[in-house]
């Protein structure tokens, strides 16, 4: 609701205050000393949390087995490509028809520089990364109720907003309006800085000029030879900018987790999942739908059936368990967890989100609009359009992220069939890019509340202070991990950090680092996790 009313920057600030936004605490590769003496560990879920746990425990000498509901590893680290088939709740089947090399990252789509764990595993596992362009000054800001519904270039709004705010402040200083706030020396320096910051003239005015056009763009571009003389462009008034509310998304690219450089794996986000799967080897049982978890003082057993619709039950046992199943699903599985753990599971609900990938016959955003990567923002229910940060200048088809919405806007799409979602995304997107209809080829969508193996996008605690401490404790020889068990919910970094924490606590318990060491580690983790974060979940966009 904050994001809907006030924009991304306000939403990010609010989430930081609620402990939902922070940077990574990763301290480097994990070292586990001590002999586990053949201890067996059952891991539930082959997302990044589960595979991180399997990788680190396997290196330390544990015998590891993973049960995974899906036919592939990765969890929400999921990329849709041509030839893929995906069936969501309600029986809606989507047959993805993207051209070779094109894809939609259904879940995570970027890796911030400060997500050190993800970047470290990518480096160690040989996952090639390339820049993800978050902020493009040539992309659009759009409000359907302002400027006659015409999108405005990001650079024009930013330059004009900044310049006119700087003019107001500089004139206030010159008129001695800030005498109680700044010294005479500071006032002089402040005005000098505002002239540069706001591109003001000697009269402290932000006006149509060559100087301002070098930031916001020209009416007639500079050329050569007999080309026309460059002409500066008209300025959008501060009144129009404020009324149009296009300032709402100016700061998204400046929040910690969106500052350049940002990265993406070459070929799709699931390159990370594929790398993890190669590293852990043949320890995953796929298409295994867990229906029962039973823990005792001596071990843990889990019973599963085939997720393809089979009914034959298979039970596996282990000395310990690390469970990464989303609480939205875990709450529906028969178990004998303690009352405290069950209350924690019930305390988490899952946010709604929708992603729609649209493939077009040519990259018209580059060829016609000169937009290479980055994001355009709109007040329409699609929320944004993200342009691919790869294969620039290619002649073939390309895929836009034609919708990435949360909350109320996402419910509009979740409630309708996939083909209707595509139609709506085209209808809204054409208000920004008129080429949509003529150039459209095909599309695919991921409505996260309809994804059978998670039933939502990421976990949100109703009462973190009351329940999180119970959730991080070992319960019936089971430890929990996943993005919901971190201060970085919705991020791959949070999933990995939660797994590393669980692995360290389990290892301390198993190797006799002492019950006190294990207990203190668990208590410390609970204390750290319960404390508000000092600094993504998603701003308007998510990860």
CATH number of domain containing 398: 3.90.660.10
Q: Cis omega (within 30 of 0) on the bond before 129?
A: no
343 lies in the same domain as 375: no
| CA 472/CA 344 separation, integer angstroms | 10
Give yes or no for a contact between 451 and 88, defined as CB atoms under 8 angstroms apart: yes
228 lies in the same domain as 107: no
| CA 174/CA 303 separation, integer angstroms | 75
Q: What does the pLDDT average to over 398-420?
A: 96
CA distances from 446 to 28, 30, 86, 224, 411 (A): 34, 34, 9, 48, 12
Q: Which tens digit of pLDDT belongs to each residue from 146-199?
A: 999 999 999 999 999 999 999 999 988 877 776 777 778 888 898 999 999 999
CA distances from 73 to 16, 26, 69, 105 (A): 31, 23, 9, 15
Q: Which tens digit of pLDDT belongs to each residue from 288-310?
A: 999 999 998 899 999 999 999 88
- Residue that finishes a domain, picked among 398, 416, 450: 450
Cα distance from N-terminal residue to C-terminal residue, the chain:
18
Query: Who wins on pLDDT, 451 or 260?
Result: 451
Residue indicated by tokens 């950090």: 497
- Based on the structure, what is the number of domains in the chain? 3
**Does residue 466 lie in a domain region?**
yes
429 lies in the same domain as 384: yes
CA distances from 234 to 157, 206, 344, 367 (A): 12, 11, 57, 25
466 lies in the same domain as 331: yes
**Does an H or E element contain 30, and which?**
none
361 lies in the same domain as 438: yes
Residue 123 has pLDDT above 60, yes or no: yes
159 lies in the same domain as 235: yes
**Does residue 44 lie in a domain region?**
yes
Give the pairing type, strands 63-67 and 284-285.
parallel
110 lies in the same domain as 127: yes
**Does residue 170 lie in a domain region?**
yes
**Does residue 455 lie in a domain region?**
no
**Does residue 125 lie in a domain region?**
yes
- Residue that finishes a domain, picked among 425, 450, 475: 450
- Residue that finishes a domain, picked among 399, 418, 450: 450
441 lies in the same domain as 397: yes
**Does residue 540 lie in a domain region?**
no
CATH code where residue 206 lies: 1.20.1440.240
Residue indicated by tokens 């997302």: 47
**Does residue 28 lie in a domain region?**
yes
**Does residue 40 lie in a domain region?**
yes
* pLDDT, position 185: 82
CATH code where residue 285 lies: 3.50.50.60
Residue 15 has pLDDT above 50, yes or no: no
Domain that holds residue 165: 154-244
339 lies in the same domain as 363: no
Name the packing angle between helices 48-59 and 492-510 (round to 10°): 40
165 lies in the same domain as 98: no
Q: What does the pLDDT average to over 489-511?
A: 97
264 lies in the same domain as 373: yes
Lowest mean pLDDT, pick from 129-143, 350-364, 388-402, 529-543: 529-543
Of 31, 57, 139, 228, give the one whose Cα is nearest residue 432: 139
364 lies in the same domain as 426: yes
> pTM (2 decimals)?
0.89
């Amino acid at each position: 609701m904050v994001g809907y009313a006030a924009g991304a920057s306000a939403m990010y600030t609010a989430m930081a205050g609620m402990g939902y936004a922070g940077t990574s605490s990763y301290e480097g590769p994990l070292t586990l000393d001590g002999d586990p003496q053949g201890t067996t560990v059952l891991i539930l879920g082959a997302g990044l949390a589960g595979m991180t746990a399997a990788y680190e425990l396997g290196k330390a000498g544990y015998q590891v087995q993973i049960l995974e509901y899906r036919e592939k590893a990765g969890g929400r680290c999921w990329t849709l490509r041509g030839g893929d088939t995906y069936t969501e709740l309600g029986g809606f089947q989507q047959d993805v028809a993207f051209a070779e090399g094109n894809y939609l990252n259904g879940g995570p789509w970027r890796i911030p520089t400060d997500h050190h764990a993800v970047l470290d595993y990518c480096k160690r596992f040989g996952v090639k990364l390339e820049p993800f362009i978050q902020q493009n000054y040539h992309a659009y800001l759009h409000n359907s109720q302002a400027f006659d519904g015409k999108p405005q270039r990001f650079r024009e709004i930013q330059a004009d907003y900044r310049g006119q705010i700087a003019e107001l402040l500089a004139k206030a200083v010159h008129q001695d309006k800030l005498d109680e706030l700044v010294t005479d020396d500071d006032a002089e320096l402040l005005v000098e800085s505002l002239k540069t910051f706001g591109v003001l003239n000697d009269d402290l005015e932000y006006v149509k000029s060559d100087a301002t056009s070098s930031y916001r763009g020209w009416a007639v571009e500079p050329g050569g030879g007999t080309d026309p003389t460059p002409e500066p462009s008209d300025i959008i008034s501060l009144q129009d900018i404020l009324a149009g509310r296009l300032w709402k998304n100016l700061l998204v690219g400046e929040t910690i987790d969106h500052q350049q450089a940002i990265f993406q794996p070459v070929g799709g986000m699931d390159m990370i999942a594929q790398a993890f799967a190669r590293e852990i080897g043949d320890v995953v049982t796929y298409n295994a739908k867990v229906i029962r978890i039973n823990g005792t003082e001596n071990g843990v057993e889990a019973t599963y059936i085939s997720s393809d619709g089979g009914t034959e039950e298979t039970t596996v046992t282990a000395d310990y368990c690390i469970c990464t199943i989303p609480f939205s699903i875990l709450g529906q599985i028969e178990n004998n967890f303690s009352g405290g753990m069950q209350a924690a599971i019930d305390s988490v609900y899952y946010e709604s989100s929708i992603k729609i990938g649209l493939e077009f016959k040519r990259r018209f955003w580059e060829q016609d609009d000169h937009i290479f990567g980055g994001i355009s923002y709109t007040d329409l229910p699609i929320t944004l359009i993200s342009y691919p940060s790869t294969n620039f200048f290619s002649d073939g088809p390309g895929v836009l992220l034609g919708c990435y919405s949360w909350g109320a806007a996402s419910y509009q799409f979740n409630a309708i069939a996939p083909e209707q979602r595509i139609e709506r995304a085209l209808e809204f997107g054409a208000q920004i890019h008129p080429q949509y209809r003529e150039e459209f080829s095909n599309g695919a969508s991921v409505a996260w509340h309809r994804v059978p193996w998670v039933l939502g996008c990421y976990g949100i605690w109703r009462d973190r202070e009351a329940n999180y401490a119970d959730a991080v404790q070992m319960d019936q020889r089971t430890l929990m991990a996943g993005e919901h068990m971190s201060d970085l919910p919705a991020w791959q970094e949070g999933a990995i950090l939660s797994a590393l924490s669980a692995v360290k606590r389990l290892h301390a318990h198993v190797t006799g680092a002492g019950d006190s060491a294990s207990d203190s580690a668990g208590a410390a983790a609970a204390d750290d996790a319960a404390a508000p974060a000092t600094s993504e979940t998603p701003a308007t966009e998510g990860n």
